[in-house]
Structure formats: C-alpha cells, structure tokens
Amino acid sequence: MSNIHNLDFQHEEKIIQLLKSCIDNNDSLFIGKLKATKKNAYRLYKTEIFPIIFEDQPIFGYSLKEKLIGLTCASTKPNEVYDLKESIALGVLTVVDKNYRRQNVGTELRIFMANFLKDIGINKFIYEIHSQNEASIKNSKKIIEKHKAQTNLISTKHEASLNV
C-alpha cells in the first residue's frame, strides 16, 4: 500500500504544519527568506496550496500513519487558459519534513507526480529549484538520469540588492 495520497481541504492543518516545519528549517521555498512564523506558513498555504486544491489541480501527500511528511503539487491550468503547442504543468513544488529527508520521500513524490502528469497527457513540466538547494538539485538530476528524461535550462532568476 502506497503512502502517497491525494490532498484536499480536509488536510489544511497538516499541510500548514508541514509548511511551517519547512520554513522553520530555512528551506529554500522562495528566493526571499521567510520568517519562521505560523502566519507565514498560513500565507504560503493560502497563496500557493489553496489555489491548487480549489482548482482541482494535482496535489499529493506522503504520510506515515497520520503524519503528513511530504507533499508535491503542480498546476496544469495554463492548458485551459492558453492555446499551447504542447501541454505543460507549472511549478512542481515538493517539500519534505526535515526529519524524513534522505529516505526517498521526495524522490517518490516527484516520480509519482511525473507519472501522474504523463498519464493525464502532460508533455512537459516547468519547475524551479533554488540554486542553493543542493539536495533538491541532486535529486532532480538523479530522477532525470534514471528516466532518461531531457531537460533544458529555460530561464534564470537574479537577485539584486538595492542597498547601493
């Protein structure tokens, strides 16, 4: 039996707790560093996760017993909004509780999401990994090599200090 399951609004508090633990751990969720507050975890949920659930987009959790230890989500919405040359998914976000890292939780979630997207006819997914998130970069490369996938660097983000 798989530990991976769909997430919905019933899981809101568990999702917020997971996001809070990732913020507490200074995970690279965004370019800017978030202060470790419950309010930031809630806002992250409301701006990033809530719309995914509300729009019935793919979101999956990884649980051990009753504890949510990881999640992955993406948006296929651009395919409904635009006339695209090929179907895409955007913003594949994967987070894992720090106490369960290096146990293949993130790998399993990413592979599950990739297979799900492929099964529903998605040809490509576009995702970001913070340049200093070495574990996620290595994991992504491992999955790409294992599945003989092709990747292309399509953009870069820069941060400029205005304190000059």
Return the SS3 of 51. Answer: helix
pTM of the prediction?
A: 0.88
Residue 120 included in any domain = yes
The answer to whether residue 39 is domain-embedded is yes
Q: In the Cβ-directed half-sphere of 62, how many Cα atoms lie within 13 Å?
A: 22
Q: Is 71 exposed, middle or buried (0-12, 13-18, 19+ CB in 10 A)?
A: buried
pLDDT tens digits in sequence order for the chain, 164 residues long: 479 999 999 999 999 999 999 989 888 776 567 888 999 999 999 999 999 999 999 999 999 989 999 999 999 999 999 999 999 999 878 899 999 988 889 889 989 998 999 999 998 888 777 777 777 778 777 777 776 777 777 777 767 778 77
Closest CA to 6 of 90, 116, 93, 100: 116
Query: For residues 4 and 6, what is the distance between their CA atoms, to the nearest angstrom?
Result: 7
Which range of residues forms the domain containing residue 39? 4-146
Q: What is the CATH number of the domain that holds 113?
A: 3.40.630.30
Whole-angstrom Cα distance, residue 51 to residue 120? Answer: 20
Domain count of the fold of the chain:
1
